[in-house]
Amino acid sequence: MKKIFVFIAVAFSLISCFGDGGSFSESYPFRISFDFSDNVYLSSFSKDSLFVMKEGEGFTYGGYPLFFSQKHVSGDFKGGFLMSYCEGEADGKLDNEENANDRYRVHAAKGHDGSKSYAVFYDNPDASQMPKHDIEFGYKDVGTCTMYGCYVNNTTLVARMVREHFTEEDRLTLKAIGHKHDGSKVETSIELAKKDTVMYNWSAFDLSKLGSVDYIDFEVHSTNPSVPGYFCMDGLEGH
């Protein structure tokens, strides 16, 4: 597996900003696809690449000051977000043999809207191996960010483990937790899988309930410990 370490510089313009009192300052809609131009893929990427920060603690994408956090120990990725260029499978299909990249490979043909890259999140059950917050708004000292939603999917490894180990009572659930400037929290969730219904289409995850936030954390809850806490994200939208 080839790892490419990239950091995409932040352009501090296209984002919303709300003061602590809730006053409106400036707002621009954004949509983060984690995708790149064909020229970038040809010159910088290789098939089944994973994008992590070797020295830092995460990455930004495009011109948006949203920081996608990750945790490393001795240079090894332990938890949080990374970007994946691992080619998926046909929707709902599974190879007969496991692939070394299955934990970072979407359980679909491609990213949402046919994108080549997407984000993958791992919720390490050891909290010490996770970043403090999973998505951080770069202007949190002066304002907050409002999310509309994103698209989520399972990884191929999760789909395989669900089909092998889930019983009728088991469930895999993704929870998003918005942290506000006043210290309060708001949560929302979506079901990723049960025994005979494993998400393999990119599905909309409504994050509007979170409102204006400084940070967002994600938790993947499985009632069966054999199914690990991975999920894929694409098309993150907000203002």
pLDDT digits 0-9 by tens, 20-35: 444 444 566 889 999 9
Rounded average pLDDT over 64-91: 88
| pLDDT score of 39 | 84
Handedness of CA 82, 83, 87, 92 (dihedral sign): positive
- Whole-structure pTM value: 0.87
pLDDT of 82-113, one tens digit each?
Answer: 999 998 876 667 765 677 789 999 999 899 99
- 3-state SS record for the chain: CCEEECCCCCCCCCCCEECCCCCEEECCCEEECCCCCHHHHHHHCCCCCEEECCCCCEEEECCEEEEEEEEEECCEEEEEEEEECCCCCCCCCCCCCCCCCHHHCECCCCCHHHCCCEEEEECCCCHHHCCCCCEEECCCCCCCEEEEEEEEECEHHHHHHHHHHCCCCCEEEEEEEEECCCCCEEEEEEEEEECCEECCCCEEEECHHHCEECEEEEEEEECCCCCCCEEEEEEEEEC
How many angstroms separate the CA atoms of 15 and 63, rounded? 9
The alpha carbon of residue 97 and the mean position of all alpha carbons in its chain are separated, in whole angstroms, by 26
Cβ(86)–Cβ(101) below 8 Å: yes
pLDDT of 132-189, one tens digit each?
Answer: 999 999 888 877 889 999 999 999 999 999 999 999 999 999 999 999 888 899 999 9
Q: Residue 5 — very low, low, confident or very high, per pLDDT cuts 50/70/90? A: very low
Range ranked top by mean pLDDT from 40-54, 139-153, 207-221:
207-221
How many other C-beta atoms are found inside a 10 Å radius of the C-beta of residue 196?
9
Q: Residue 199 — very low, low, confident or very high, per pLDDT cuts 50/70/90? A: confident
Q: Which two tokens stand for residue 172?
A: 């895999």
| pLDDT score of 27 | 60
Backbone angles phi, psi at 223, to 5 degrees: -75, -10
Report the candidate in 132, 85, 128 with the shortest Cα–Cα distance to residue 110.
85
How many angstroms separate the CA atoms of 52 and 41, rounded? 16
How many angstroms separate the CA atoms of 120 and 137, rounded? 19
How many angstroms separate the CA atoms of 164 and 122, rounded? 20
Taking the alpha carbons at both ends of the chain, their separation in whole angstroms is 35
Task: Tell me what the pLDDT averaged over the chain comes to.
Answer: 84
